[in-house]
Structure 1
Amino acid sequence: MSTPTESIMPPRSNRPRTDAVPAMDPAVKSIQPGGGVVMAMELAWGRARRAYLRKFRPGYVSRMADRRQGERGDLTFDPVDSRDMKYYRNQGSYWWADADDPFLWRDALPFVRVGLAELLVLGGAALLISVVMALFWWPLFLPPFMLFILVVWFFRSPRRAVPSGTGTVVSPADGKLVEIVEIDDPVIGPAIRFGIFLSIFNVHANRVSLPGRVVSVRYRPGKFLNALRPESARENEKLDIELESGDLDGRVIRIRQITGQFARRIVCWARVDDVFARGEMYGMIKLGSRTELVIPRDDALSIVAKIGEKIFAGSTVMARYQSDVSIESDA
């Protein structure tokens, strides 16, 4: 689990900083800044659940209040347990230790935990419709049942074997590698950008490519163009995280989540000062999308992945920084 830290701090890069721009985008008020119908439904259910627990289970509410840690901060309500913090875990508010969280078991399910509500609402609705259709004429159950299978398949979260080795860059997303280009990035400098297209059949969880500390989280609303169109990377809704990696002497990498024509909900629970391990999950994009990875370009970099290759988040090696070649800091 990612945790904020004060003692583990990779050397800072020489990138320019602007004090007027906060590292944590103030527009990011939840892990799903674009909102959504299912999110609104789940938040409404949370309000009803808290009212029920306070009225009929005050002992449970009291125990959970005694065990919670942190401070309320800017949170607009008083949470009862960890379920209430699902959408606000990136706000630096209350949290519960694993030993005090009665809902930690949900992390062990073979599905991405932040997609469980969609799985229940969308998948449950499709399954219910298929049963009703079967009562009229059994072949009618097939289309909604296939939709149910697709929803279940979409939110799956398979285990991944993460490669080790200092300087090993793993893929941040499942999908097809459609772009490898050299760019001059205003923050990173000379860089390589990898573009990954995710179809609705891919796992949509995002993972960190190199171990590091989050130094910036940026969100920008936008359009919902087809993720295969080149202009989608510029015009669609997107969220960037930048990390300083100890593997690169504190230099910065960027992972960008981009919505698509059908994938309209970016989820990211990373916040500034969180430390992530290589291959650790930090978010997802719901229902088809694009992910980009930008890393520093220098003589130590060896690109392994090839355009057109099918890649897997956290396990496919995209590139390696050779330890026997000196890594120069940004000028």
Structure 2
Amino acid sequence: MNAVGRGAVGSAAALLGFFGLFLYWRLRFFFRDPDRSPPADTKSIVAPADGLVTYVKRIEKGDIPHAVKKGRTIPLEEFTSVSSTASGYLVGIYMTEYSVHRNRIPISGTISLRQHRSAAPVNRSMARVGANFITRHTPYDDGCDYLFTNERLTIAIEHVSGAVVTVTQIADLWVDRIVAHVDVGDVVSRGEQYGMIRFGSQCDVFLPDELVTEIEAVPGQYVLAGHTVVARSPISVDEISPPEEER
């Protein structure tokens, strides 16, 4: 075999090797499912996703007071697709290409809502937020229009106290589909796996004031689904039925 032939064979082998690594990442590494256990402290609210905390936004009566879009404040509904007048905190988690893409329940309770919203009109890339993290440009969600346009699926978890936590899966440009294995009426436990976003993207959790004494998540922090504490509650978030004395 001459030099040209050997070069062609070498290039083909390198290409096959790269393709093999890509398939491994896409089909094995990307869909990995490590064991996770929530902290023993039953007053700890856990992250719903692996990834980088993009923002922690204060919500006042359903609006983000200091966020302005075209001369107006931004309602929480534009992030979650669920109408709300609650006050609390919205924690956004960007799921990087290296993150586990399985999502978990942040508190125990009952699913009271499941709502899907299609992209308007198509999903936009989340490359901007990734670039912001690389360059340490803050706020990390600066210029990230996908927050308002991309496909999303929101579930609401009603705590035994009546407080409601919402978790919103937001799809990236190349996402295959959003998966959620829960429906209205299902009883779920803190740290339980409930779905995933195939090949993307972001996961937001809204925490009402009634369940928050302290927010522990900070922008730029890397968190693990079902394990990292994002907030502390004044009451147990592990209960799935009222305590005996309240019955």
When normalised by structure 2's length, the TM-score is 0.71
In structure 2, give the amino acid aligned to 1:230: C
Match of residue 233, structure 1, among 144, 147, 155: 147
Distance 1:299 1:216, change over 3 A: closer
- Are 2:4 and 1:140 aligned? no
Partner of 1:194: 91
| 2:163 counterpart residue number | 251
2:24 equivalent in structure 1: 149
Alpha-carbon distance in 2 for matches of 1:322, 1:302 = 9
Aligned residue for 2:40? 164
| Offset, 1:141 | 1.8
Do the aligned residues in 1 keep the contact of 2:163 with 2:211 (CA within 8 Å)?
no
1:240-262 deviations in whole A, cap 9, x for unaligned? 0001012xx12100000000122
Check whether the contact 2:51–2:224 (CA below 8 A) recurs between aligned residues. yes
Task: Find the aligned partners of 1:213 and 1:299 in 2 and give their Cα distance.
Answer: 15
Which protein has the bigger helix share?
1
- Give the 3 Å change call, closer, same or farther, for CA 323–243 of structure 1 in structure 2: closer
Are 1:178 and 2:77 an aligned pair? no
What is the alpha-carbon root mean square deviation over aligned residues?
2.2
**Contact kept in structure 1, 2:52 and 2:222, CA below 8 Å:** yes
- Map residues 17-28 of structure 1 onto 2, 5 A cutoff: none
CA distance in 2, matches of 1:279, 1:161: 7
> Comparing both structures, which one devotes a greater share of its residues to strand?
2
- The aligned residue for residue 194 of structure 2 is 282
Structure 2 unaligned regions, length at least 5: 1-7, 63-82, 130-142, 237-247
TM-score by length of 1: 0.54
Alignment of 1:1-331 (within 5 A): 137-151=12-26, 152-183=28-59, 184-185=61-62, 186-187=83-84, 189-222=86-119, 223-227=122-126, 228=129, 230-246=144-160, 249-297=161-209, 300-323=212-235
Larger relative contact order (C-alpha < 8 A, sep ≥ 6)?
A: 2
The secondary structure found in structure 1 opposite 2:87 is strand
Once the 2 structures are TM-superposed, how far is the Cα of residue 323 of structure 1 from its aligned partner?
4.1
Take 2:176 and 2:43, find their aligned partners in 1: how far apart are those partners?
A: 33
* 1:169/1:209 contact within 8 Å kept: yes
When residues 155 and 296 of structure 1 are mapped into structure 2, their CA distance, relative to the original with a 3 A threshold, is same
When residues 256 and 154 of structure 1 are mapped into structure 2, their CA distance, relative to the original with a 3 A threshold, is: same
Taking the aligned partners of 2:178 and 2:9, their CA distance within structure 1 comes to 35
Call closer, same or farther: CA 1:323–1:221 in 2, change over 3 Å. Answer: closer
Return closer, same or farther for 1:272/1:142 CA change in 2, 3 Å cut-off. Answer: same
**Conservation of the 8 A alpha-carbon contact between 1:268 and 1:282:** yes
> Is residue 134–residue 140 contact of structure 1 (8 Å, CA) maintained in 2?
no
For structure 1, the residue ranges without an aligned partner over 5 or more in a row are 1-132, 325-331
Structure 1 residues 168 and 134: CA distance shift in structure 2, 3 A: farther
Aligned length: 190
SS in 1 for 2:21: helix
| Alpha-carbon distance in 1 for matches of 2:42, 2:85 | 20
**Distance in structure 2 (CA, Å) of the matches to 1:224 and 1:267:** 16
* Counterpart residue number, 2:5: none
What is the rounded CA distance, in whole Å, between the counterparts of 2:188 and 2:202 in structure 1? 21
Note the C-alpha offset of 1:166: 3.1
Distance of 1:277 and 1:188 partners within structure 2: 26
